[in-house]
Structure 1
Amino acid sequence: MKKSTFILIAFPLIALVFLFSYYAKVNQKPDEINNKAQLPLEFKDNTLQCPQCHMYLVGKKDTAQFITSKGKTYFFDDIGCFVLWQAEQKIELEGGKLWVFSRDSKRYIDGFDAWYSLRDETPMQYGFGAYEGKKEAFVGYEQMRLRMLRGENMSDPRVRKLLVEER
């Protein structure tokens, strides 16, 4: 085979391979990225579903991202969904990183160090809005987690009534 014939055949094939790999990378969803840095990832509205409730994520408010020690990122529309999912899936928290979008600082913060309101309107109506700064009646991650697992959240009408009356 002549060198010019080889170039005429090989060049378009190489160009196609590069185009396909570029297209795949550009259209890669955040939950498909190997997130070894364990940093919160950007996402487009209505492209990712919460693995617990299957709602699409719209905006950052009240969202949570959990990144496993292996770099797999899971996206949640509500921190309560993360707590339920983690308990059901028995996903190890050790070595993982939890990010929650803070209502007061409007950025992702460490979910294990965040403070949680008991009465906020959240996507699944659990009431646990995340905050960077502590205020009266806010609880830490472990207390929020226990309340969520016991069903003591705003989605229960009896609990909602008690929490609203406390105001």
Structure 2
Amino acid sequence: MKKSTLILIGFPLIALMVIFGYYIKINQKPDEIKNKAQHPLEFKDNTIQCPQCHMYLVGQKDTAQFITAEGKTHFFDDIGCFILWQKEQNISLEGGKLWVFSRDTKRYIDGFKAWYSLIDETPMQYGFGAYENVKEGFVPFEAMRLRMLRGENMSDPRVRKALLDGR
């Protein structure tokens, strides 16, 4: 095979492979990325759906990301959705990393170490806003989780009234 024929066929083929690889990379959704480092991932608004309520994530406020030990990232629009999903799917928290977007420091923080308000307006109206710094009335992760699993959250009108009256 002549060198010129090889260049005429080989160069366009390589160029197509590079362009295709770049296209795949820029169009890959964050939930398709192998996240072995278990860091919170960036996402574009209205491109990622919460696996629990199926709402699209818009902005970072109140979002949560759970990364499994295998590196699979799951995105949630509300920490309450994560709690329900984890229970229904029977997903182990062991070896996983939970990130929540903090309302006070405006960055992702460790969800297991965060403090949770009981009365914030959140996407699914559960009321559990995440904070890095504790304030009076805030609860740790496990207390928030138990409240969510028992249905003791702002989505229940009776609980909502009791929480708001007890401020």
Q: Provide the residue aligned with 2:2 in structure 1.
A: 2
Partner Cα separation in structure 1 for residue 3 and residue 146 of structure 2: 70
Quote how far apart the aligned CAs of 1:65 are: 0.3
Partner Cα separation in structure 2 for residue 88 and residue 4 of structure 1: 61
Q: Provide the residue aligned with 1:95 in structure 2.
A: 95
Q: Provide the residue aligned with 1:51 in structure 2.
A: 51
Partner Cα separation in structure 2 for residue 27 and residue 99 of structure 1: 23
Q: Which amino acid aligns with 2:32?
A: E
Instruction: Give 5+ residue unaligned stretches, structure 2.
Output: none
Partner Cα separation in structure 1 for residue 39 and residue 9 of structure 2: 43
Deviation track 1:94-149 (CA, whole Å, cap 9, x = no partner) reads 10000000000110000000000000000000000000011111100000000000
Any idea what SS the aligned residue of 1:56 has? Answer: coil
Quote how far apart the aligned CAs of 1:11 are: 1.0
CA RMSD across the alignment: 0.6
Partner Cα separation in structure 2 for residue 128 and residue 84 of structure 1: 13
Q: Which amino acid aligns with 1:118?
A: L
Any idea what SS the aligned residue of 2:139 has? Answer: coil
TM-score by length of 1: 0.98
Quote how far apart the aligned CAs of 1:27 are: 1.2
Any idea what SS the aligned residue of 1:9 has? Answer: helix
TM-score by length of 2: 0.98
- Is residue 152 from structure 1 mapped to residue 136 from structure 2 by the alignment? no
Instruction: Give 5+ residue unaligned stretches, structure 1.
Output: none
Q: Which amino acid aligns with 1:67?
A: I
Q: Which amino acid aligns with 2:162?
A: L
Which aligned runs of 4 or more in structure 1 are off by greater than 6 angstroms? none
Quote how far apart the aligned CAs of 1:45 are: 0.6
Any idea what SS the aligned residue of 2:38 has? Answer: coil
Quote how far apart the aligned CAs of 1:3 are: 2.0
**Percent of aligned positions that are identical:** 81
